[in-house]
Structure 1
Amino acid sequence: MPLPPSVAAGPVSHAIFRVARLHRMLAGQLLRRVGLHTSQELVMMQLWDRGPQRQTDLVRLLGSDAATMTRTIRRLENAGFVRRRSSPSDKRVTIIEPTVASMALRREVERVWLDLESSVADELTPEERAEALKVLGRIEDSLARATAQQD
């Protein structure tokens, strides 16, 4: 399908937009099956892999903003997957930790990510996967530099 004339100046950017939109849509569909919204699993993955974290560290690790992270944590807490507590060394700091109940969710999220990865890459050869990761890494680096220059 030909590109609309209005996006002809940015065919790579348009392709990234289309792929990202479809990826997020599929991830959302798969995550709904386990009771999560997109990005909530990323918070849980950080907590499962790194242990309890300061909320500000989760914001930094995931490239989020404080308000979005607060809403995400509140929803995860209401679902019983995380618990907030004050830091013993600094009462102004909130520590977020995964609950025991979240451990069953971990297996489900890992299954979702396997399904998502399968949908994304099963039709690629190992060489194409390696090349895709290499190109995406270069694009990410380029975007990170451009973003830093805007600050």
Structure 2
Amino acid sequence: MDFAQADAINQAIRLLSLRHRARAAALLVPLGLHPGQETLLLELARTGPMIQAQLSETLGCEPPSVTLMTRKLEAAGHIRRDPAPTDKRATVVTLTDRGRALAEQIKQLWCDLAEETVVGLSAETVAELPDVLNTMTGNVDGRRRRPA
């Protein structure tokens, strides 16, 4: 690959990432959420209660970031944190009824954002996009984990 093609690919990915995150942030404001909090709520809606450390790993966030997010979401009444029954050092995070209702709103927001993002693309391209993007993510993750 030559530099012009590499630059075009890298710039497109960078701009998409920045603009998608900014658009998501703007859509989350009316819900009283900040970027990252929605993924935590969606993960709990998808899996049910989780130990906070597992949540950190699943989300790909540092434990202190998840701790901060869970404190804010708990203060807002969206989640509950309780000591794990088998390990008092661990914390189990559970959606409240209010959090479940908010997760439903987030799902609709996520659908709207995805539709907005892929407008103008063919149905075939849209269907292939998750696999393409996941492959690209795996490629980057694989490189990061390999020893130098």
Q: Please, what TM-score do these two structures have when normalized by structure 1? A: 0.89
Give the number of equivalent residue pairs.
146
Aligned-residue offset at 1:122: 2.7
Q: Distance in 1 between matches of 2:107 and 2:126?
A: 20
2:40 is matched with which residue? 43
Deviations 1:63-106 (A, max 9, x none): 00011111111110111101110011111111111111112212
Higher helix share: 2
Deviations 1:34-89 (A, max 9, x none): 11111101100111111110000011101000111111111101111011100111
SS in 1 for 2:97: coil
SS in 1 for 2:61: coil
Q: 1:150 to 1:37 in 2, by over 3 A?
A: farther
- The question of 1:109 aligning with 2:101 is answered no
Structure 1 unmatched runs, 5+ = 1-6
Structure 2 unmatched runs, 5+ = none
Q: Distance in 2 between matches of 1:37 and 1:136?
A: 24
Identity of aligned residues (%): 31
SS in 2 for 1:101: helix
Q: Please, what TM-score do these two structures have when normalized by structure 2? A: 0.90
1:70 is matched with which residue? 67
Q: 1:70 to 1:108 in 2, by over 3 A?
A: same
- The question of 1:21 aligning with 2:18 is answered yes
Moved over 4 A (4+): none
Further displaced range: 124-133 or 19-28 = 124-133
Instruction: Name which of 122, 127, 150 aligns with 2:124.
Output: 127
- RMSD between aligned residues: 1.9
